[in-house]
Structure 1
Amino acid sequence: MTALTIVSILPELLNTNGDAENARVLARRAEWAGHEITVVAVNSVDEIPEAVDMVVVGSGTDSELVLARDLLQPMVDHFRQWCAGHVPILAVGTGWELLSWGIELGDGEVIEGLGLVAGRAVPAESRVTDDIVVKSKYGRLSGFENHSRGYVGAKASPLGRVVSGTGNGQDQEGLVMGDMFCTHLHGPVLARNPDFADHLLTVALARHGAEYVPGEQSKRADDIAKAARNQIAVRLGIAAE
């Protein structure tokens, strides 16, 4: 058994689409695999625990972008340390955008980001609200995208190639920079795509010299998630898995 600490960053402010619940998905799957898990809600830099094994940053509303950015700013050095220490970080939606170079709004205003992730968010022609399917090295990913911006300038690998949907634009979705994973997928993304969750857990446990082996209870959750993905695929005219 390995003890892991999962940090959920600003879970009340950045949980518009239930994305902060990705921390709960990771915790439950790790518990099913026999590990001891602590989930810590971090709302200020002073609340960051000494030992951090995984980080989840959810998505918020545009009206609270500046507030969220100002709360995240004092955490920049911690994010850098986590990146250097190969701590897996999942950032979704505006949480991802806030870690980037910046966010360009439709009215021309630019909100400076934390500069931790290459690229910036730019206005899309219209708001994107639909299911999305992505081909990735972590298997087929599906989720719901709800964003009014695309993403450009990412000097990193995309999370995957868009099979149906919009993503970043130009047939790409998300980005992967070291052990930081960024995506537009809501759902929450790890509940819909447990193989992706298991990859993050594999990375986190490897830092402790431990191996991740999914627990028996994971199978039922995996089957439910697969059925949901296939339902979306059929609706979009894509072959089931």
Structure 2
Amino acid sequence: MAEFEIGLVLPDVLGTYGDDGNALVLRQRARMRDIDAEIVTIRLGEPVPDSLDVYTMGGGEDTAQILAAEHLIADGGLSRAADAGAPILAICAGLQVLGESFRASGKYVDGVGLLDASTTPMQQRAIGEVATQPTRAGITAELTEPLTGFENHLGGTILGSEAEPLGRITHGVGNSDRSTAEDLPDVQRQRSAEGAVQGNVIATYMHGPVLARNPQLADLLLAKATGQRLDELEPLEIAAIDRLRIERLDAAKK
């Protein structure tokens, strides 16, 4: 058994946009610090171990979302892991599945309930570069660097009072467009929100993969999963990642 185990949750149904790469980034950044890290792949129909160190899940289409939600609710392993304090990173459809409800294939579907969030269709797809300033809410309090990714979704996600945005939009659409949020009392909060943070769950619409574009976020997950502060991790100097961040942040300004 590896010293550090990364759960890759349902990549067979939530693996449409290359978000499996987040688990690879976590494994590599752990290994570069001499941590014996391995990825544990959990496929549809398989039980989700509740004893892993950190979990990642990605994006998918309507039918895949429904299958994922049904499996995760029935199995309960991911919810038990969250209750035990394991960090969870959810991307795009993963964000919606971990919410209270989402609309897919013309019907409302119950989510896992780890996020106080609900999702309905927007009038127009959000697609393109997105950048935010981290809110530093909850588990993300140590984040200081801008976040960057690529959004491609039609879901308008509204956050309830128990969830906070991961970031505030500086470029792009984020969780919801004007049509989704215009009648809400906290309309400005909803329109500027990207992603969600609640407990030890971090969720975002950012593809990229997001952890390849945002090494500080990757290291935050590693730190939380190993019981450390972010500044206690050995720094990694990777010139190619620095260049990628500059390139993508510049692209979000155009």
TM-score range, shorter chain: 0.7 to 0.9
- 1:104, distance to aligned residue in structure 2 (A): 2.3
Which residue pairs with 2:187 in the alignment? Answer: none
CA contact (8 A) 1:45 1:74 kept: no
Taking structure 2 as the reference length, the TM-score comes to 0.82
Aligned length: 229
CA contact (8 A) 2:115 2:196 kept: no
Structure 2: gaps of 5 or more residues: 137-142, 177-190
Which residue pairs with 1:228 in the alignment? Answer: 247
CA contact (8 A) 2:3 2:36 kept: yes
Matched, 1:51 2:51: yes
In the alignment, the residues of structure 2 paired with residue 167 and residue 131 of structure 1 have an alpha-carbon distance, to the nearest angstrom, of: 10
CA contact (8 A) 1:4 1:53 kept: yes
Which residue pairs with 2:129 in the alignment? Answer: 131
| 147, 151, 164: which one aligns with 1:145 | 151
Structure 1: 4+ residue segments shifted above 6 A = none
Which residue pairs with 1:239 in the alignment? Answer: none
Which residue pairs with 2:211 in the alignment? Answer: 190
- 1:202, distance to aligned residue in structure 2 (A): 0.8
CA contact (8 A) 2:129 2:252 kept: no
Paired AA for residue 198 in structure 1: D
Structure 1 residues 98 and 219, CA, compared in 2 at 3 Å: closer, same or farther? same
User: Could you report, residue by residue, the CA deviation over 1:10-66 in whole angstroms, capped at 9, with x for unpaired residues?
Assistant: 112111111121000100011111111010100156454463000001111123222
CA contact (8 A) 1:133 1:164 kept: yes
CA contact (8 A) 1:161 1:173 kept: yes
Structure 1: gaps of 5 or more residues: 236-241
User: Could you report, residue by residue, the CA deviation over 1:75-126 in whole angstroms, capped at 9, with x for unpaired residues?
Assistant: 32x223222222110001111111111112484x212212221121011121
In the alignment, the residues of structure 2 paired with residue 80 and residue 124 of structure 1 have an alpha-carbon distance, to the nearest angstrom, of: 28
In the alignment, the residues of structure 2 paired with residue 201 and residue 131 of structure 1 have an alpha-carbon distance, to the nearest angstrom, of: 26
In the alignment, the residues of structure 1 paired with residue 50 and residue 115 of structure 2 have an alpha-carbon distance, to the nearest angstrom, of: 23
In the alignment, the residues of structure 2 paired with residue 226 and residue 119 of structure 1 have an alpha-carbon distance, to the nearest angstrom, of: 29
- 1:222, distance to aligned residue in structure 2 (A): 3.0
In the alignment, the residues of structure 1 paired with residue 9 and residue 108 of structure 2 have an alpha-carbon distance, to the nearest angstrom, of: 23
In the alignment, the residues of structure 1 paired with residue 71 and residue 91 of structure 2 have an alpha-carbon distance, to the nearest angstrom, of: 17
Paired AA for residue 131 in structure 2: V
CA contact (8 A) 1:194 1:225 kept: no
Taking structure 1 as the reference length, the TM-score comes to 0.87
Which residue pairs with 2:93 in the alignment? Answer: 94
In the alignment, the residues of structure 2 paired with residue 171 and residue 140 of structure 1 have an alpha-carbon distance, to the nearest angstrom, of: 15
In the alignment, the residues of structure 1 paired with residue 164 and residue 63 of structure 2 have an alpha-carbon distance, to the nearest angstrom, of: 30
| 158, 171, 175: which one aligns with 1:168 | 175
In the alignment, the residues of structure 1 paired with residue 50 and residue 113 of structure 2 have an alpha-carbon distance, to the nearest angstrom, of: 23
In the alignment, the residues of structure 1 paired with residue 214 and residue 82 of structure 2 have an alpha-carbon distance, to the nearest angstrom, of: 23
For the residue of structure 2 that corresponds to 1:185, the secondary structure is coil
In the alignment, the residues of structure 2 paired with residue 50 and residue 144 of structure 1 have an alpha-carbon distance, to the nearest angstrom, of: 30
CA contact (8 A) 1:198 1:214 kept: no
In the alignment, the residues of structure 2 paired with residue 234 and residue 128 of structure 1 have an alpha-carbon distance, to the nearest angstrom, of: 16
